[in-house]
A and B are shown apart, each in its own frame.
Chain A
Amino acid sequence: MTSSRAGMALALLFATAAGAATRPHYGGTLRVEMHQTISSPEALETPRGFVLTSWEAGRRAVFTADENAPGGRPFLDSIEIQMARSLRDQSVDLELGKADVVELGPSELRRQVAGRRVWSSSAVRLMALVFGSRIADARVREALALAVDRTAIHTVLLQKQGEISGGLLPQWLSGYGFLFDTAADVPKARSLLAGLPAGAGRLSLAADDAANSAIAARIQVNARDAGLTVTVISPAGNPDVRLVETRIASDDAAHALAGVAAALGLNEPAAAHNLEESYAAERALLQGYQVIPLFHLPDVYAVGPRVKGGPVITPLGEWRFAGLWVDDRP
């Protein structure tokens, strides 16, 4: 009994996650809703301390507490995840007490009742425009970069969530994100397009996530002001430009940059030994305007009154359900 056991130190570290003035309660089901549709259980990360016990592709997943979890049995008995719920429906379900944790988009955030608990990650979702191979002229890509009025989109459509960004890495992570230009410059965009042949400024644009279609529509308007003709189409229509989101998956700048570059189909960034080199590597990735970073956004969740403990969202947006519990006492 006195001998040490491999992995125990790590397990014990996890076991220390909870504790409180009012100690946690065991039992209950946490009801989580999300707008994504996930078709295979492998694509759904199993929360630490739980095992997948029920799976309905694209609709519902249930995770049950592992009695022998390395960090100790979670307080919750189970987690039920409902998929493919629109953000609006999620907010309604939260209001009606049918859900405990729901995603919040900017519109829903604006409508939250006072006192509602909101959990937020750091700004870890990079929203960017990514060009396909058809737009070969860098001047067209640069013109679109200069046309987008990030400030208006951030203020109106995103309700000032997250941060405006011209870099791949968020300012909070790199510290030098402000060095990348974000200001719109329509006259310069127009001058870039002036010498191009007719039709060169025609583009098709699609938002990978329908929740971002309003932003795509605003970019279409911005582009028109600069002399570009952008048509918003379905993501299935092989667009020239895609409005995408990708995640910052590490709080190490070099890791994160490599991950974002890979996710966006950019070249491998040069190895960086210090921040100057990291900045240079990031700038090199953005040369040619194949990718136009727009915003870094946080994951935002509204939390119902039954839920105790937390927040369980790490700065990188990962869930830590094992330290949560629900309290049904009146």
Chain B
Amino acid sequence: MIAAVKRWHAVFYALLFFFPPGATAADDVSGAARELARKAAAFAGRGAAVAITWHNMPSLESISAQARTAFDAALPESGVRVSDAAPTVAVRVTVSQNATQFLLVAEATKGEEHQVWIAAWKRSETTAAPAPGLALEKKLLWEQEEQILDIAFPAAGMLVLSPSQLTLYARTGSQWESAHTVPLAPSKPWPKDPRGRLRLIGAGFQALLPGTLCTGAVEPAWSAECHPSGDPWTLESGSRALLLADFDAARNYFDGRVTTQTGQRKTVAPFFSAASVESQGRTWWLMATLDGKIQIFDAGLDPAGAAAAVWGSDIAGTDSHCGGGSQVLATRPGEAGQADGVQAFTMVDRGLEPLTEAAEFPGPVLALWTSGGSSATVVSKDARTGKYAAYAVTVVCGGLP
């Protein structure tokens, strides 16, 4: 809301004693039912007859059934009889909910006396993993609260690049534990929709960020150093093709200045991502440009037309040679924030044809980077949990990567 809400009572808020949502909450529905049963027994008196009626909120039938079972079991344990015949106390029980809790609300009447008791327990969200694609194998690598820009696996562990830090995790048993962290503090805030790329070079690494380059090594000793940089980013595609491209430090795209593997400098339209693809023995580059199109270039980055494909902004190349050539993984077009999918395509006669079903993600795909060979790293924000998750997506050819 644009109009300001008068907040003169802010100090008053501060002085008020607030209760956290779960301050007196039961652990679960059984605990809540026992709590209310105890109160009902104390109100009615031991051995008294209590008549119970239930009122269900719409959409809470399932939890209501659980609550009813628990409450019916808890009442006799508390020393009261459930009976509709000449009850001492009439109790109307409602299962309700607020933003964070389920509530069991009992309205009890004994003669002229009226009491309301409320017991609450925390809502736990259930999560269901999306079904994997038929020919794209999806494996969860890492999940965290902060956005993940990229993830890489040097011999010594796992590097996770986030907007605020670069972290090396070491495996201890079955757990990843933070071993080293480099805070990232750019002189200017990162652009919105921040992007970053990790590259492994032997035992060393590069972290490419808008206007910033971090370099270091994980072996034999950890080292890392970040500095402002206008150097181009290296964009690999599969295990063979690469391109140098200048990233606009204040935006979320490459500004169009590129250098090919043979050292040719070219200027193309600004683009979000690029991938190479082989078709009939020739190498092509595809670029997802800002106008939402996929532009095709030859190996020398001379324009070769626009593809008819309608993809999202992120593409990455793989080279598992399924379908007789390399593949391009692409996100779907659509609105920010929507659940996204990644699908593999192949190039046939300069046309791009789907090769697999889409691997679905439970939120928008925020990064799609080649991780070498037949795999790519996908970072998605889970719309249900709000967490960021990095996945390895591998093109599987008849079950064999």
A residues whose Cβ falls under 8 Å from a Cβ of B: 1-5, 8-9, 11-13, 15-26, 32, 34, 36, 38, 42-45, 47, 67-75, 81, 121, 171-176, 178-179, 247, 249-255, 258-259, 262-263, 268, 271-280, 299, 308-310, 317-319, 322-323, 329
- Chain B contact residue count (CB 8 A cutoff): 79
Distance in Å: Cβ of B286 to nearest Cβ of chain A:
16
Q: Are B334 and A72 in contact (CB under 8 A)?
A: no
Q: Are B2 and A258 in contact (CB under 8 A)?
A: no
Pick the contact of A22: B98, B253, B312 (CB < 8 A). Answer: B312
Pick the contact of A275: B118, B188, B228, B366 (CB < 8 A). Answer: B118
Pick the contact of A24: B146, B314, B336 (CB < 8 A). Answer: B336
Convert B287-301 into 0s and 1s, putting 1 for each residue whose CB lies closer than 8 angstroms to a CB of A.
000111000000000
Residues of chain A contacted by B290 (CB below 8 angstroms): 25
CA distance A222 to B5 in the complex (A): 31
CA distance A190 to B182 in the complex (A): 74
Q: Are B333 and A21 in contact (CB under 8 A)?
A: yes
Distance in Å: Cβ of A22 to nearest Cβ of chain B:
5
Most B C-beta atoms less than 10 A away, residue of A2, A71, A178, A250:
A2
| B148-201 contacts to A (CB < 8 Å) | 163-164, 182-194
Distance in Å: Cβ of B160 to nearest Cβ of chain A:
14
- The reply on B206 being an interface residue by CB < 8 A is no
Most A C-beta atoms less than 10 A away, residue of B182, B192, B292:
B192
CA distance A251 to B16 in the complex (A): 15
Distance in Å: Cβ of A72 to nearest Cβ of chain B:
4
Convert B6-34 into 0s and 1s, putting 1 for each residue whose CB lies closer than 8 angstroms to a CB of A.
11110011001111010110000000000
Closest to A45 in B: B4
Distance in Å: Cβ of B401 to nearest Cβ of chain A:
25
CA distance A181 to B164 in the complex (A): 51
Pick the contact of B9: A2, A12, A262 (CB < 8 A). Answer: A262
| B96-149 contacts to A (CB < 8 Å) | 96-99, 101, 103, 105, 107, 116-118, 120, 146-147
Residues of chain A contacted by B349 (CB below 8 angstroms): none
Q: Are A1 and B12 in contact (CB under 8 A)?
A: no
| B227-266 contacts to A (CB < 8 Å) | 227-228, 250-253
Pick the contact of B185: A5, A24, A81 (CB < 8 A). Answer: A5
Residues of chain A contacted by B292 (CB below 8 angstroms): 22, 329
Convert B346-371 into 0s and 1s, putting 1 for each residue whose CB lies closer than 8 angstroms to a CB of A.
00000000000000000011100000
Pick the contact of A23: B182, B185, B193, B338 (CB < 8 A). Answer: B193
Distance in Å: Cβ of B31 to nearest Cβ of chain A:
14
CA distance A272 to B74 in the complex (A): 27
Pick the contact of A322: B103, B192, B253, B312 (CB < 8 A). Answer: B192
Residues of chain B contacted by A322 (CB below 8 angstroms): 192
In the complex with contacts A19-B366, A21-B313, A279-B116, A2-B185 CB distance below 8 A: yes
Q: Are A16 and B194 in contact (CB under 8 A)?
A: yes
- The reply on B77 being an interface residue by CB < 8 A is no
CA distance A42 to B103 in the complex (A): 40
Residues of chain B contacted by A329 (CB below 8 angstroms): 291-292
In the complex with contacts A23-B253, A274-B24, A318-B1, A309-B336 CB distance below 8 A: yes
How many A-B pairs with Cβ below 8 Å? 235
CA distance A175 to B221 in the complex (A): 56
Pick the contact of B192: A71, A176, A273 (CB < 8 A). Answer: A71
Q: Are A21 and B334 in contact (CB under 8 A)?
A: yes
Listed A/B pairs (23) with beta-carbon separation below 8 Å: A1-B225, A1-B227, A2-B185, A4-B183, A12-B190, A20-B312, A21-B313, A23-B312, A23-B313, A42-B4, A45-B2, A69-B189, A71-B189, A171-B96, A174-B98, A176-B116, A250-B13, A254-B19, A258-B16, A274-B23, A275-B101, A276-B118, A323-B192
CA distance A173 to B313 in the complex (A): 38
Distance in Å: Cβ of B49 to nearest Cβ of chain A:
24
Most B C-beta atoms less than 10 A away, residue of A20, A21, A273, A323:
A21
CA distance A299 to B5 in the complex (A): 14
CA distance A9 to B189 in the complex (A): 11
Residues of chain B contacted by A42 (CB below 8 angstroms): 4
Q: Are B103 and A175 in contact (CB under 8 A)?
A: yes
Q: Are A249 and B7 in contact (CB under 8 A)?
A: yes
Residues of chain B contacted by A247 (CB below 8 angstroms): 1, 5
Distance in Å: Cβ of A228 to nearest Cβ of chain B:
28
Distance in Å: Cβ of A37 to nearest Cβ of chain B:
10
In the complex with contacts A176-B105, A178-B94, A271-B16, A44-B226 CB distance below 8 A: no
Distance in Å: Cβ of A110 to nearest Cβ of chain B:
23
In the complex with contacts A21-B334, A271-B17, A323-B336, A16-B189 CB distance below 8 A: no
Distance in Å: Cβ of B15 to nearest Cβ of chain A:
9
Residues of chain A contacted by B94 (CB below 8 angstroms): 178
